[in-house]
Amino acid sequence: MRTRPIRARAPGRNLFERAAEEPASAGLDPAPAPIGHNGAPPEPPARLPYGASCARCQHWAAPSERDIRDYEAFQRGVTKRRVKEPSGFCHSIRHSPHGPTAAGGCVGRSFCFNFEEDTRPKPEQDRRGFVTIYEGGRIVWQGTEGDEPAEYRQAELDL
């Protein structure tokens, strides 16, 4: 393998070598600003608000309840079948602060720079259970907890 002979350069010819009397920036020109740049200082990096996740964003559409239930059952160890973390859909994902928006699937714990707090009203969830009242082996009443007849309420019975 042939190599070229190394030629000695005069001091100051190499931009990375400097003489002792030269200032640190001698010989180096500052990089020119890109076309269209006004020379202003760079913007500080964009900060996401605390708790900015896709699950709390108005652009995000949540996955189906069945997918969520299946994944929670897998996490608790109820089922042995592996279940992927359910992903919703967002039509306006932004991966960098000033980048373009895109559409795609994302899980609820991911985040993007296009976060907008969800202002849609949350649906009311009825947390009352279903009650069946038996007397003598026969069903006397069935319905939602709290709607049972007064004679069967536990608060009024002496137990």
Each of the 159 residues of the chain gets a pLDDT tens digit; together they read 566 666 665 555 555 555 555 555 555 556 777 777 777 777 777 777 787 888 889 999 999 999 999 999 999 999 888 999 999 999 999 888 888 999 999 998 888 888 888 888 877 877 788 889 888 999 999 988 888 888 877 665 555
Answer yes or no: are the C-beta atoms of 83 and 71 closer than 8 Å. Answer: yes
CA–CA separation, 59 vs 134, rounded Å?
Answer: 48
Q: What are phi and psi of 111, to 5 degrees?
A: -145, 165
CA–CA separation, 44 vs 147, rounded Å?
Answer: 58
Answer yes or no: are the C-beta atoms of 94 and 100 closer than 8 Å. Answer: yes
CA–CA separation, 38 vs 27, rounded Å?
Answer: 24
